[in-house]
Amino acid sequence: MERTLVLVKPDGVQRRLVGEIISRLERRGLKLLGMKLLKPSRSLAEKHYESLKDRPFYPSLIDFLTSGPVVAMVWEGPKAVEAVRQTLGATDPLKAAPGTIRGDLGLHIQMNLAHGSDSPETAEREVNLWFSPEELVTWKAADEGS
Ligand code: DAT
Ligand code: MG
């Protein structure tokens, strides 16, 4: 089993697409372990996108991520990292396949609705950055085997 961090970015919250995005991840078969709404601090956003700090769009990306509330979530499942990235679609919504969140709901590369960790290692770092261990719940679904 893998865990991965998902953020509904400020554009997704402002467009009232939180439920739509959660619904798609639930229907994919992933399990929700933690969720909260918060307006990220600059420091949190900078740590989150640390690996992109030399890219020209980085200042604008930090401004965007801190511009309003986001919904941060941890989802679990087999190959959850890859499954979430597939359900999100390509970074640029114009290149994202129809049927994906970004391909169906977005047009703008920065306002691309949601974030998903890009590897199991990144996922571990990001889950620990956004959540404390007490904020994550381990539970068993009725349709899971023992
Ligand atoms: P992803 O969110 O698909 O993992 P990423 O980690 O490469 O993509 O980039 C993080 C975010 O930065 C991305 O969701 C949107 C923004 N971004 C990426 N490439 C960009 C570009 N060329 N111009 C503007 N924003 C960009
Ligand atoms: Mg990324």
From first to last of the 146 residues of the chain, give the pLDDT tens digit: 999 999 999 999 999 999 999 999 999 999 999 999 999 999 999 999 999 999 999 999 999 999 999 999 999 999 999 999 999 999 999 999 999 999 999 999 999 999 999 999 999 999 999 999 999 999 999 988 77
Tokens at residue 120, please? 């199991």
In a domain, 142, yes or no: no
- Pocket lining: 136 vs ligand 1, CB cutoff 6 Å: no
Task: Determine the Cα–Cα distance for residues 15 and 112; give it in Å rounded to an integer.
Answer: 12
Q: Tell me, what's the pLDDT at 144?
A: 87
In a domain, 137, yes or no: no
User: Could you give phi then psi for residue 98, rounded to 5 degrees?
Assistant: -55, 145
Q: Tell me, what's the pLDDT at 79?
A: 98
Task: Determine the Cα–Cα distance for residues 8 and 37; give it in Å rounded to an integer.
Answer: 9
Judge contact between 71 and 8, C-beta under 8 A: yes
In a domain, 35, yes or no: yes
Residue-range definition of the domain harbouring residue 99: 2-132
CATH number of the domain bearing residue 54 = 3.30.70.141
- Pocket lining: 110 vs ligand 1, CB cutoff 6 Å: yes
Task: List CB contacts of 35: < 8 A, sequence separation 6 or more.
Answer: 71, 72, 73, 74
Among 85, 105, 109, 115, which is best to mutate for testing ligand 1, by the most ligand atoms less than 8 A from CB?
109
Out of 85, 115, 116, 117, pick the active-site residue: 115
Task: Determine the Cα–Cα distance for residues 11 and 80; give it in Å rounded to an integer.
Answer: 23
Task: List CB contacts of 77: < 8 A, sequence separation 6 or more.
Answer: 1, 2, 28, 29, 30, 31, 83
Closest ligand to Cα 11: 1
| Count of structural domains, the chain | 1
Q: Tell me, what's the pLDDT at 113?
A: 98
- Pocket lining: 122 vs ligand 1, CB cutoff 6 Å: no
Task: Determine the Cα–Cα distance for residues 106 and 25; give it in Å rounded to an integer.
Answer: 17
In a domain, 39, yes or no: yes
Active site residue 115: yes
Q: Tell me, what's the pLDDT at 143?
A: 87
Ligand 1 atom at minimal distance to the Cα of residue 118? 4
In a domain, 140, yes or no: no
Sign of CA dihedral 25, 103, 86, 127: negative
Distance of CA 31 to the CA centre of its chain: 14
